[in-house]
């Protein structure tokens, strides 16, 4: 296993890696909507937060020598599923067919008060 890290995505806020490479797969830890340039959440709601989460995943993928187009599986965590349609539309802009497998859950809370968190498994 090899840890992957980039300053183009937020640093881990706990005892974990931004991502871990194992074999031909990249396991990207849940990404919060933190702008790595400011260390703060992006302005706006869940759609803007989804966009930033995906930007962070893309930056980590690039550091590992791959990209979002090779995403196999994602898990999306939302604190309010009532905005799912809009968040789903933003998510769909990041991927093309064949779309990654995905799970999406409503959770009671996310770290630092985020509305969205996304993790991914990406082929290398």
Three-class SS of the chain: CEEECCCCCCCCCCCCCCEEEECCEEEEEEECCEECCCCEECCCCHHHHHHHHHHHHHHHHHHCCCCHHHEEEEEEEECCHHHHHHHHHHHHHHCCCCCCEEEEEECCCCHHHCCEEEEEEEEC
pLDDT score at 111: 95
Q: Identify whether the C-beta of residue 25 lies closer than 8 Å to the C-beta of residue 124.
A: yes
Residue 103: CB partners within 8 Å, gap ≥ 6?
Answer: 73, 74, 75, 76
Q: What is the pLDDT of residues 81-99, one digit of tens each?
A: 999 999 999 999 999 999 9
pLDDT score at 28: 98
- Quote the pTM value: 0.97
Please identify which of the residues 42, 104, 110, 121 carries the catalytic annotation.
104
Q: What is the pLDDT of residues 28-63, one digit of tens each?
A: 999 999 999 999 999 999 999 999 999 999 999 999
Q: Indicate the burial class of 90 (C-beta count within 10 angstroms; 0-12, 13-18, 19 or more).
A: middle
Asked about 53 being catalytic, the answer comes back as no
Torsion of CA 23, 26, 30, 33, to 10 degrees: 160
């Amino acid at each position: 296993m090899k840890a992957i890290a980039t300053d183009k995505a937020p640093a881990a806020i706990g005892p974990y890696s931004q991502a871990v490479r194992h074999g031909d797969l990249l396991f990207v830890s849940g990404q919060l909507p933190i702008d790595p340039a400011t260390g703060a959440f992006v302005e706006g709601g869940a759609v803007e937060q989804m966009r930033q989460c995906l930007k962070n995943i893309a930056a980590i993928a690039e550091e590992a020598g791959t990209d979002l187009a090779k995403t196999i599986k994602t898990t999306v965590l939302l604190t309010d599923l009532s905005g799912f349609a809009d968040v789903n539309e933003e998510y769909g802009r990041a991927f093309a067919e064949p779309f990654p497998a995905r799970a999406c859950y409503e959770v009671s809370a996310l770290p630092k008060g985020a509305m969205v968190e996304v993790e991914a498994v990406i082929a290398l």
